[in-house]
Homo-oligomer: A and B are copies of this chain.
């Protein structure tokens, strides 16, 4: 999570131009916990940047990922989601409403140690995805039954 000044500096340093679209897309990602996909970002920014196209979203996302400002989340849907928190952390998706939440302060080290013992791969990263029913959907379901 960087402020606009730092993002500006980083983009320039990496040889990319600083445009309002790029700042807006990064800013939108910093100000949500919803892990939006490209279309959700597009819809969110539409009122403020009515001429911006989806192609710009995709290209900006690729640049932000390349310079380490965001990470890509693949929770097994038909589209990818994006996250301005770049530290690796597990995610959980509601199998009813498809919302995606963070699981923070998860200690990967026991799992990594476990895997390092079992494989001769040179490990470089991991992604953990959990599935379940979110509190809101649990509430709705118990209402329907009664």
Contacts and interface: CB of A to CB of B under 8 A. Distances in A.
List the number of copies, as a whole number.
2
A118 interface: yes
Contacts of A101: 119, 121
Interface string A8-48: 00000000000000000000000000000000000000000
Nearest to A122: B133
Interface size class of A (residues with CB under 8 A): 35 or more
Contacts of A124: 95, 131-133
A118 B89 CA distance: 13
Interface string A116-144: 00111111111111111111001000000
A57 interface: no
Given A110-B110, A121-B132, A133-B122, A115 B103 contact: yes
Contacts of A107: 114
A125 B121 contact: no
A85 B131 CA distance: 19
A104 interface: yes
Interface string A85-124: 0000010101100000101111100110011001111111
9 contacts: A92-B115, A92-B121, A92-B123, A101-B119, A103-B118, A107-B114, A123-B132, A125-B131, A125-B132
Which 4 A-B pairs rank lowest in CB-CB distance, beginning with the nearest?
A: A121-B132, A123-B132, A122-B133, A125-B131
